Structure 1
Amino acid sequence: MPPAIREGSLVFPKVPVLQAAGPLGLCQMVETSILNILGYATLVATNAARHRLAAGWKKKLFEFGARRAQGPDGALTASRYAYLGGFDGTSNVQAAYRHEIPLAGTMAHAFVSSFASFESLKPATSLLGPSFPNAVLAARDSVFKLWHEKNFSQMAKEGELAAFTAYAMTFPDGFLALVDTYNTLSSGIPNFLAVALALFQEGHTPQGIRIDSGDLAYLSREARQQFKECEEAFNFPFSALHIVVSNDLNEAAISALNDEGHEADVFGIGTNVVTCQSQPALGMVYKLVELEGKPCMKLSEDVEKTSLPTAKAAYRLYNKAGIPAIDLIQSASMPPPVCGRQLFCKDLYDDKKRCFFIPKAVEELLVLLIKDGKLLQPLESIEVCRRRCITQLQHFRADHLRLHCPTEYKPTAYATAEVFPHCRHFPEWRKRENCAKQTRKCVHQTLTRNRGEEITYTSQATTNALPFKRIEGSAVACCCRSGETCEPPATRIPTTSERCAGNQTQKPGLAVPHRAMCAACECGQCMPHSRISSVRRGISKNAGTPYPRVRACRSECRNSATMTIGSLIRHAHRRR
Structure 2
Amino acid sequence: MTISPEDYSFLTDLYELTMGACYVGEGIADKPASFELFARRLPPCYGYLIAMGLAQALEYLQALSFSPEQIQQLQQLGIFDHAPEEFWSVLSGKVFTGDVWAVPEGTAVFANEPLLRVEAPLWQAQLAETYLLNTLNYQTLIATRAARMRDVAGESAKLLEFGTRRAFSPQASLWAARAALAAGFNATSNVAAALQLGEVPSGTMAHSLVMAIAALEGSEDQAFTAFSRYFPQAPLLIDTYDTVAAAKRLAQEVEAGERKVSGVRIDSGDVAQLSKEVRSLLPQTAIFASGDLDEYEIEGLLGNGAVIDGYGIGTKLVTGTPVNGVYKLVEIDGIGTQKASTSKETYPGRKQIFRRWEQGKIQRDRLGLMSESPEAGETPLLTLVMKDGEVQMAVDALDTLRDRARQSVLTLPDSIRQLHNPTPLTVELSSPLQQLTTQKK
Given residue 414 of structure 2, which amino acid in structure 1 is its aligned partner? A
Aligned to 1:40: 138
Q: Deviation digits for residues 106-139 of structure 1, max 9, x if unmatched?
A: 111111112237x94xxxxxxxxxxxxxxxxxxx
| AA matched with 2:131 | S
Residue 201 of structure 2 corresponds to residue 103 of structure 1? yes
Q: Counterpart in 2 of 1:189?
A: 247
Contact 1:310 1:419 in 2 (8 A): no
Q: Distance in 2 between matches of 1:167 and 1:378?
A: 42
Instruction: String of CA shifts for 1:313-353, please: whole Å, max 9, x gaps.
Output: 1121012x1211111111111122223xxxxxxxxxxxxxx
Q: Of 315, 337, 344, which aligns to 1:296?
A: 337
**Residue 221, structure 1, aligned to residue 276, structure 2:** yes
1:397 to 1:434, Cα distance in 2 relative to 1, 3 A? closer
Answer with 99-108 or 27-36: which moved more.
99-108
Whether 2:222 is the aligned partner of 1:162: answer yes
Q: Deviations over 1:231-250 (max 9, x none)?
A: xxxxxxxx231111111112
- Does structure 1 retain, via aligned residues, the 8 Å contact 2:101–2:117? yes
Matched, 1:314 2:387: no
| 2:237 aligned with 1:178 | yes
Partners of 1:34 and 1:262 lie apart in 2 by 41
CA deviation digits over 1:493-539, x for unaligned, max 9?
xxxxxxxxxxxxxxxxxxxxxxxxxxxxxxxxxxxxxxxxxxxxxxx
CA pair 195-322 structure 1, distance change in 2 beyond 3 A: same
Distance between the aligned counterparts of 2:304 and 2:166, measured in 1?
Answer: 28
Assess if the C-alpha contact under 8 Å between 1:331 and 1:415 holds in 2. no
TM-score normalised by length of structure 1: 0.57
Are 2:263 and 1:208 aligned? Answer: yes
1:388 aligns with 2:426: no
One-letter amino acid of the counterpart of residue 207, structure 2: H
CA offset at residue 251 of structure 1? 2.3
Give, in angstroms, the shift of residue 419 of structure 1: 4.8
Q: Quick one: which amino acid aligns to residue 330 of structure 2?
A: V
Q: Secondary structure at the match of 2:327?
A: coil
- Residue pair 1:44, 1:274 contacting (<8 A) in 2 also: yes
- 1:323 and 2:382 matched: no
- Separation of aligned partners in 2, 1:284 and 1:434: 23
Q: Deviations over 1:453-508 (max 9, x none)?
A: xxxxxxxxxxxxxxxxxxxxxxxxxxxxxxxxxxxxxxxxxxxxxxxxxxxxxxxx
Query: Secondary structure in 2 aligned to 1:267?
Result: strand
Alignment of 1:53-132 (within 5 A): 53-116=151-214, 120=217
CA deviation vs aligned residue, 1:376-415 (integer Å, no higher than 9, x gap)? 1212122211210011112221221000011221211123
**1:176·1:208 contact (CA, 8 Å) conserved in 2?**
yes
Relative CO higher for 1 or 2, CA cutoff 8 Å, sep ≥ 6? 2
- 1:335 is aligned to 373
Distance 1:265 1:393, change over 3 A: same
Q: 2:288 aligns with which of 223, 235, 244?
A: 244
SS in 1 for 2:307: coil
How high is the sequence identity, in percent, across the aligned residues? 36
Q: How many residues align?
A: 343
Give every structure 1 segment of 4 or more consecutive aligned residues whose post-TM-superposition deviation is greater than 6 Å: none
Give distance in 2, aligned partners of 1:418 and 1:208.
Answer: 57
Q: Secondary structure at the match of 1:168?
A: helix
Within 1, Cα distance between the matches of 2:111 and 2:214?
57
Tell me the CA shift for residue 374 of structure 1. 1.2
CA change 1:417–1:396 in 2 (3 A) is closer
Q: For 1:107 and 1:5, how far apart are their aligned partners in 2?
A: 39
Counterpart contact for 2:110–2:424, Cα < 8 Å: no
Q: TM-score, normalised by structure 2?
A: 0.73
Alignment check: 8 A CA contact 2:337 2:440 kept: no
Cα displacement (A) at 1:192: 2.8
Shift of the alpha carbon at 1:194? 4.6
Matched to 1:218, the amino acid is Q
Do 2:369 and 2:433's aligned partners in 1 also have CA atoms closer than 8 Å?
no
Aligned residue identity for 2:347: L
Segments of 5+ residues of structure 2 without an aligned counterpart are 1-98
CA RMSD in angstroms, aligned pairs only: 2.2
Residue 308 (structure 2) aligns with: 264
Measured against aligned partners, the alpha-carbon deviations of 1:419-471 in whole angstroms (never above 9, x if no partner) come to: 5436xxxxxxxxxx999xxxxxxxxxxxxxxxxxxxxxxxxxxxxxxxxxxxx
| Aligned residue number for residue 488 of structure 1 | none
The question of whether the paired residues in 1 share the 8 Å contact of 2:161 and 2:180 is answered with: yes
Alpha-carbon deviation of 1:260?
1.3
C-alpha distance in structure 1 between counterparts of 2:288 and 2:184, whole Å: 17
Q: Which residue of 1 aligns with 2:419?
A: 403
Higher helix share: 2
CA positional deviation for 1:282: 1.5
Residue type of the alignment partner of 1:107: M
Using the alignment, how far apart are the partners of 2:311 and 2:298 within structure 1?
8
Give secondary structure in 1 for the equivalent of 2:214: coil
Structure (1/2) with the larger strand percentage? 2
State whether structure 2 residue 297 is matched by structure 1 residue 253. yes
